[in-house]
A and B are shown apart, each in its own frame.
Chain A
Amino acid sequence: IVMTQTPLSLSVTPGQPASISCKASQILLHSDGKTYLYWYLQKPGQSPQLLIHEVSNRFSGVPDRFSGSGSGTDFTLKISRVEAEDVGVYYCMQSLQTPLTFGGGTKVEIK
């Protein structure tokens, strides 16, 4: 499954919202009713950290300014008010089929 993210990069003023799109080459809805779409943030010099699982569920400790939405093949990660600590590369990932595959990443920087 090919995952395509847009935009490639984003420059955001602190306190402003940001939005990242992710499109899958096939529907990520499983027969169990769940949709296997994840979002990760890789901060500079660090390993990826899980933000959102199964489209819209924030992982433990993730601030509520992060939210995920979407269905089928089209998904969105939104940051309601960007903070300086949110800089890095954001990846979407599907876990419907092996191999699990990632989008190419969206680099978020602060203006």
Chain B
Amino acid sequence: EVQLVESGGGLVQPGGSLRLSCSASGFSFNNYAMHWVRQAPGKGLEHVSSIRSNGGNTFYADSVKGRFTISRDNSKSTLYLQMTSLRAGDTAVYYCVKDQAYTSDWYILGFDYWGQGTLVIGSS
């Protein structure tokens, strides 16, 4: 059974930093691209960042480029999102999401399994 468990969310002051983690199990983590998707309270879904299976390529939405860094440790089956210069507008539930494609190529097929999410609140 695929499981994705996020952690690291919390209340952070504007300008502050936070690191989210996602522990994965139930599949061969090192063969899938992984993603972060966020959802502001009562709002829709926004694709934030993606990383290739081997960590060699990344994608960032314009809204977070230069402030967020995605990374992964395949030896620990863990995905990370380092968030800096946080803003009130970054307040959201952050979901760790698995890609559907089993591949070592830099290829995003689509999102299949989602974690339960971790809430980040940017507020003073």
Contact = CB atoms under 8 A, between A and B. Distances in A.
Interface residues of A, number: 22
A70 B95 CA distance: 28
Interface string A80-111: 00000000000101010011111111000000
Contact of A47 (B50, B110, B115): B115
B100 to A, nearest CB: 7
A75 interface: no
A50 interface: yes
Interface of B: 44-47, 50, 59, 61-62, 95, 100, 108-117
B44 A104 contact: yes
A93 B117 contact: no
Contacts of A101: 47
Interface of A: 36, 38, 40, 46-50, 53-54, 59, 91, 93, 95, 98-105
A49 B115 CA distance: 10
A38 B97 CA distance: 14
11 contacts: A38-B111, A48-B45, A48-B95, A49-B114, A50-B110, A54-B110, A95-B111, A99-B47, A99-B59, A100-B108, A100-B110
A37 to B, nearest CB: 9
Contacts of B95: 47-48
Contacts of B116: 46-47
Contacts of B46: 99, 102
